Structure 1
Amino acid sequence: MNKSLFLFFLLSGLLFYAQNQRFTYEYKYKIDSTAQDKTETELMILDVTPKGSKFYSKDFYESDSLMKAAIGKQVKNGNTDFDFSGFKFKGKVRYSVEKTYPAYSINFFTTLGSDEYMVQDGRTQNWKILPEREKVGNFTAHKAVCNFAGRKWTAWFTTDLPIQDGPYKFHGLPGLIVKIEDASLTYTFELKGIKKLPNTYDWKSTKDKERYNPLITLNEVKYKKAFNDFRADPMKSERQMLAQGIIIEERDDSEKLIDPEKSRKEQEKKMKDRIKKENNPIELDLLK
């Protein structure tokens, strides 16, 4: 890219950063490689502000907000035993991604069991821009490819939206990524909507939210170990709580106490069965 064109994108991007924008993506993925006929679909949000962006699940965010409101209401009414009967969390994607401008430093927020992590991802995305163009929605998009996190990705970006960002951790192209998919076509993000947010809008980082347990901060290398340790022993943190004398009472529909050891074994089986099916993560190199 020549110097004058680069300056054009830089200045356009700075003007764009001055606005608060919300981009909605349709996310399609197949987490189980043995069930190729089963595709999960979820709406994801990319909020862009002058200081950075945040990517998260629309349904999970709305469910989380409703849960916090319900807790606040019960606390206000003096309740100490919270009642969440009938409440069901929507959204299967529980992680979020934050990028800080202008460095595009990436923080990935996720949970493993009862532990919450902030993963500082310092990996680079070395894009190769190709001559092909394609219509994505109302935009003429340019093609680019790169290898990232164990997959080969093809992205389509538009210079009509001069911001070097995109869904998930993807960024670094001279325009917003409006569509991106991996070579196996098991992971796809595609832009479906754009909304201007109020100038007063200011998202708060997940790292600053109130929590009972401390946030665990790791880089992507150490997180890989934690990820695979959890897959091998998903109930480790629960056993540690029991060893410390922390017992969470559970009751059945008749209000009869459930044996904690029996409950732990049943939960462990369910978690191991679920983990076995989650064999095709978006970052494939986590399993290598």
Structure 2
Amino acid sequence: MKKLIIVFAVFLSCAMNAQNQRFVYEYKFISDSTAKNEVKTERMYLDVSKKGSKFYSEVKYIADSIKEDRLKKGFRDLTGINFNFIPFVVEKSYPDYKNFFFISLSLDRFKVSEERPQTWKIMTEKEKIGEFNAQKATLDFAGRKWNAWFVPDIPIQDGPYKFHGLPGMIVKIEDQTNSHSFTLKEIKKLSEDWASESEKKSFSNIIPVNTAQYKKQFVENRNDPTKGLRQMFASGRKLMMVDESGKPLEQQTILRMREKEGKEQNAKNNNLLELDLLK
């Protein structure tokens, strides 16, 4: 906590000088509503620069860095890299706060423009969040009711995930079912702007869509886990998989395995952050 206090003080002294900052949030979530005791945790980065922000997983950042380093050295072996991370990236531009959500569905990568307004209701209630004197605000967004705490002393109208628009940085936000929460844990100074060319390459060849178009794609992929594989096979591309004896699997066997796996994943992933995707 002392580290947070010190870094916070440094941040306040230089915030208006447009120095690059990293806000580290702890994301806690329950992906299966039938197993509420199974709370998952992941550290998330909100990198802020003069022109905008980028929100993404710390584990993703580490995995991408290791992968890029190996590929630069000519190594194609990616074993040992942890690819089990929150997959999405959210970028916001300043000062208009245009909001873009980057995600992969099956074999496609999408850039989703977020048009839904965030109509906050600022409350009089105040609370101590860590070392911050924060004020409460509420919001209905993406099928959930959210309670947020923001700090006017941090003059940035931003926050984790897609959340923004309050008169100060959001240091904590949670939905009313306690299924999803983001809490600020640390603030760091960055030596470089987050929007480096190497990071931009990770989302090349993307398909731009709006929220309605993305929801359609999401539902189709969720209802048909084999959609991407069938499209790949239809285009003539091949996927090599073997059984326990080392014998290559036929396409139909691979499709059955993927369908079974997808349905099992969907059954456990029923408590999405954006709950209205399932409605």
- TM more than 0.5: yes
Q: Distance in 2 between matches of 1:287 and 1:56?
A: 23
Cα pair distance change 1:205/1:137, threshold 3 Å: farther
- Name the residue aligned to 2:193: 201
Amino acid at match of 1:171: H
Amino acid at match of 2:221: F
- Within 5 A, what are the aligned runs for 1:177-192? 177-192=170-185
Please say if 1:133 is aligned against 2:126.
Answer: yes
Secondary structure (helix, strand or coil) at the match of 1:74 reads coil
Amino acid at match of 1:83: D
Amino acid at match of 1:145: T
- Name the residue aligned to 1:148: 141
Once the two structures are overlaid, the 10-residue window that deviates more, 189-198 or 249-258, is 249-258
- Name the residue aligned to 1:263: 254
Give the root-mean-square deviation of aligned CA atoms.
2.2
Cα pair distance change 1:41/1:134, threshold 3 Å: same
Q: Distance in 1 between matches of 2:81 and 2:140?
A: 37
**Cα distance, 1:15 vs structure 2:** 5.1
Alignment partner of 1:106 out of 92, 99, 102: 99
Secondary structure (helix, strand or coil) at the match of 2:74 reads helix
Cα pair distance change 1:138/1:227, threshold 3 Å: same
- Name the residue aligned to 1:4: none
State the Cα deviation string for residues 166-215 of structure 1 (Å, max 9, x = none): 000000011100000001010100000000112x4342389941668x31
Cα pair distance change 1:55/1:281, threshold 3 Å: same
Please say if 1:282 is aligned against 2:276.
Answer: no
Cα pair distance change 1:117/1:207, threshold 3 Å: farther
Please say if 1:220 is aligned against 2:197.
Answer: no
**Cα distance, 1:257 vs structure 2:** 2.5
Q: Distance in 2 between matches of 1:136 and 1:254?
A: 55
Once the two structures are overlaid, the 10-residue window that deviates more, 103-112 or 237-246, is 237-246
State the Cα deviation string for residues 47-70 of structure 1 (Å, max 9, x = none): 000010000000111111111211
CA contact (8 A) 2:47 2:194 kept: no
* Uncovered stretches (5+) of structure 2, i.e. residues with no partner: 1-11
The count of corresponding residues between Structure 1 and Structure 2 is 268
- Name the residue aligned to 1:41: 41
Q: Distance in 2 between matches of 1:269 and 1:285?
A: 24
- Name the residue aligned to 1:83: 77
